[in-house]
Amino acid sequence: MYRMPLPTLKEQWTKPPSSTVQAGIQTTATIVVALAAVFAVIVQSKDNPKFAGALVVLALAVVGWAFGSRVIVSFQIRGVRTARDKAARAQHSELLRFAKRFAQFTSATDCTNIRPSIFSLCGNNVEKCAELCPPDYMKDLFPLFLQHLEAHPSDNVSQFLLAAQELKGLVASYNRYYVTEPFERMRMKRWAIPNSSLVPELGSWIASLPLAHQDNAGRQIEDSRERWVRFLDDMRQWLEEVNESFGVKLPVWFDRPQKL
């Protein structure tokens, strides 16, 4: 679904730069040796000017071939770099699409998201919500990232890969602090179950809610979790294809939140 363009250039993209430097050194050495040999023969062939002239022409041909090869290699490298940058610019739209999908999950007013759902089920009580979730910094932080991404499209592959890695880091941070860890706290049997007995029995967070609200709360939380997991799976697949196409190793792993 997210197959990158120009897959046939991958091997060229990932070719070590040292091979180009080594080829340049070898070419230079060849030229020096050839010129030295021609100079020595000319010095020893003063009585045969035709032979010396032929050697000069041959030496010039060798020099022209050597430098011509380097010029061709230089153009090939520039062409590969241009192709990489073009592919990165084409993938910027996918990067932006994932950023906008993530922005929907960070919305503090969308009650279908996990954190707003928890806040609502806590009766909009900040202190009770804080027992499960940390203060919401993402609603202020991520719009700045998205605004910068929209205003400054990737011009080259380095900018694109850096922005992709930054988005991955933001998603992983949100996943840990606002999804995975709150789910772990909700599963812990440390919450007082209402009207269980004279001595309150401890159970999961859902069990601590009023009985009439438990089924609806469970469905609401699970629906939010499934939407979030689908997003994580899609983004992981896209990052894997970015790595495959560009020959890089961006981190792709996310800790999947388990059901309550």
Query: Whole-angstrom Cα distance, residue 106 to residue 115?
Result: 9
**Can you spell out the DSSP letters for 202-260?**
EE-HHHHS-HHHHHHHHHHHHHHHHHHHHHHHHHHHHHHHHHHHHT--------PPPP-
Task: State percent of the chain over pLDDT 90.
Answer: 42
| Residue whose structure tokens are 């197959």 | 3
Backbone angles phi, psi at 250, to 5 degrees: -65, 145
In terms of pTM, does the model score above 0.85?
no
- When mean pLDDT is compared across 72-76, 146-150, 213-217, the lowest value belongs to 72-76
Tens digit of each residue's pLDDT (9 = 90 or more) over 208-251 = 898 888 999 999 999 999 999 999 999 999 999 999 989 899 99
Tens digit of each residue's pLDDT (9 = 90 or more) over 112-126 = 899 999 999 988 999
Which distant-in-sequence residues (6+ apart) come within 8 Å of 206 by Cβ? 186, 214, 217, 218, 221, 260
Query: Whole-angstrom Cα distance, residue 157 to residue 83?
Result: 10
What would you report as the CA-atom Rg of the chain, rounded to the nearest whole angstrom? 32
Q: Which residue has the higher pLDDT, 3 or 29?
A: 29
Domain-wise residue ranges, the chain:
7-246
pLDDT at residue 35 is higher than 60:
no
